[in-house]
Structure 1
Amino acid sequence: MIRINKATLRKYTLLLATAFSIGFLTACNSSDSTDKTLPILGHREAVERVVDGKTVVDTVYHQIPDFAFINQDSQRVTQETVAGKIYVTDFFFTTCPSICPKMKSQMLRVYEKFKDNPNVVILSHSIDPQHDTVAVLRDYADRLNVQSDKWHFLTGDKDSIYDMALQYFTGVQEDAQAEGGFAHSGDFMLVDQNRHIRGHYHGTEQEDVDRLMKDMEVLLKEKQNGQK
């Protein structure tokens, strides 16, 4: 059996992240505006179970696993924080000199549009937890003038954060050759109330973030109707 360590897997994921996202975006863009549902992204498998003596096949979709991080208010943020809600997530670091400022200006648009909706949360994971302490993230959130219960800036164990990025099919890694010392995708990921990924979006592009916000409306309607 060939074993691949996590560092190699992260590098491989980072290389594939752009192509993987483009593939998803192409699939999503191919749907016309009359579609009422969004695809569930990621791997899936058929699982058999017996009901009333009959074999039934269920489709099990990729689901974001349980997690635990700390936000800018030193509060523990887990899967319970987003239970029953839809959320948008990304990966960044506060000293990022390249794409992160663009990402945050676009995420602010998402925040402003949905800040009064109790069914929407934003999770932003720092990929430089050594520098991005709770105090640093608190200052960062204050400068953006956002509410902590709506937009959580998360820090924690670096390996746990990097492993979580893999669960969202996005790439992050330390890279001395990259600006700021880290390489990462600029994607935003949309996740439903069942922790299924329902969309990948280019977080630096206004047009794609517009599409994200439209998809969030679709997902909120789906949630209201009790689908998925």
Structure 2
Amino acid sequence: MKLNLTTCLCAIALSSVLFACSGTVEKKLPIIGERATEERIVEGKTVVDTIYHQIPAFTFLNQDSVEITDKDFDNKVYVANFFFTHCPSICPTMQRNLLKVYEKYKDDERVAFLSHSIDFKYDSPSVLKSYAEKLGVTNEQWQFVTGEKKDIYGIADKYLVYTKEDENAPGGYDHQSYLVLVDSQKHIRGAYDGTNDEHVAQLFNDLEILLKEQ
């Protein structure tokens, strides 16, 4: 079964209820996504390791026409999302709320932000640059990126976020409004509806928890 964030978050919510009922307090954020096990031999004994879902290597072009790769986010906690600049529905609210998080952590080298445009036809680097400036982004901590259709939609799958080119959707694209919290090991640790104030407040809280863990 192909997982998505909605499925994973429902499972996590149920898990939280079970923890609460048992009186157990979970201090760390969960790792979201599929996982596998791998056996290895250590000093003659079989040890089973858990292999967690990770964001894979990627390369995109940013708002300054500079290549951005996964290496630029090494040893950082970052928040990623998917949008397009002329989106008439959820994007303006989602990006304004993400801006609040950016403003709190502005110039904090531990934290970064990454917005992937799903409009590979219109959102060129110069369009993304203008958009970022109008939004109020003033440093390189928040990257806005574009690329080939297969790469953009392929990486969205790895973030477990639904994206689709759809002529019947507002603006021609259908996508979820998740703000995805990623740790320094490229594991997904949380996802929040960027149009929901309560979810955004939870992102603020969880980001602090994750930074303490890192």
TM-score by length of 2: 0.91
Letter paired with 1:77: I
Shift of residue 34 of structure 1? Answer: 5.2
Q: Which runs of 5+ in 2 are unaligned?
A: none
Name the residue aligned to 1:40.
Answer: 31
Q: Does residue 137 of structure 1 match 2:128?
A: yes
The secondary structure found in structure 2 opposite 1:110 is helix
Name the residue aligned to 2:13.
Answer: 26
Q: Deviations over 1:96-126 (max 9, x none)?
A: 0000001011001110111121110000000
Alignment of structure 1 residues 7-22 onto 2, 5 Å: 17=4, 19-20=6-7, 22=9
Alignment of structure 1 residues 43-58 onto 2, 5 Å: 43-58=34-49
Matched positions, count? 210
Q: Do the aligned partners of residues 89 and 29 (structure 1) sit closer, same or farther apart at CA in structure 2, a change above 3 Å counting?
A: farther
Name the residue aligned to 1:9.
Answer: none
Q: Does residue 150 of structure 1 match 2:141?
A: yes
Alignment of structure 1 residues 120-135 onto 2, 5 Å: 120-135=111-126
For 2:118 and 2:4, how far apart are their aligned partners in 1? 16
Of residues 110, 113, 117, the one that matches 2:101 is 110
After TM superposition, what 4+ stretches of structure 1 lie above 3 angstroms from structure 2?
16-19, 27-35
Q: Do the aligned partners of residues 29 and 132 (structure 1) sit closer, same or farther apart at CA in structure 2, a change above 3 Å counting?
A: farther
The secondary structure found in structure 2 opposite 1:81 is helix
For 2:15 and 2:104, how far apart are their aligned partners in 1? 22
Shift of residue 160 of structure 1? Answer: 0.3
For 1:134 and 1:74, how far apart are their aligned partners in 2? 6
Shift of residue 149 of structure 1? Answer: 1.4
**Mapped contact 1:85–1:120 kept (Cα < 8 A):** yes
Letter paired with 2:164: Q
Q: Deviations over 1:55-80 (max 9, x none)?
A: 11100100110000111111211111
Q: Deviations over 1:42-66 (max 9, x none)?
A: 1111100111222111001001100
The secondary structure found in structure 2 opposite 1:98 is coil
Q: Which runs of 5+ in 1 are unaligned?
A: 1-11, 224-228
Pick which of 22-31 and 147-156 moved more. 22-31
Pick which of 21-30 and 118-127 moved more. 21-30
Q: Do the aligned partners of residues 196 and 19 (structure 1) sit closer, same or farther apart at CA in structure 2, a change above 3 Å counting?
A: closer
Name the residue aligned to 1:166.
Answer: 157
**Mapped contact 2:77–2:110 kept (Cα < 8 A):** yes
Q: Do the aligned partners of residues 25 and 76 (structure 1) sit closer, same or farther apart at CA in structure 2, a change above 3 Å counting?
A: same
Identity %: 47
For 1:18 and 1:44, how far apart are their aligned partners in 2? 14
Name the residue aligned to 1:93.
Answer: 84
The alignment yields a C-alpha RMSD, in angstroms, of: 2.0
Q: Do the aligned partners of residues 192 and 38 (structure 1) sit closer, same or farther apart at CA in structure 2, a change above 3 Å counting?
A: same
Pick which of 25-34 and 98-107 moved more. 25-34
TM-score by length of 1: 0.86
Shift of residue 20 of structure 1? Answer: 2.2
Q: Deviations over 1:158-217 (max 9, x none)?
A: 110100000011100011111100000011110000000001111101110110111010
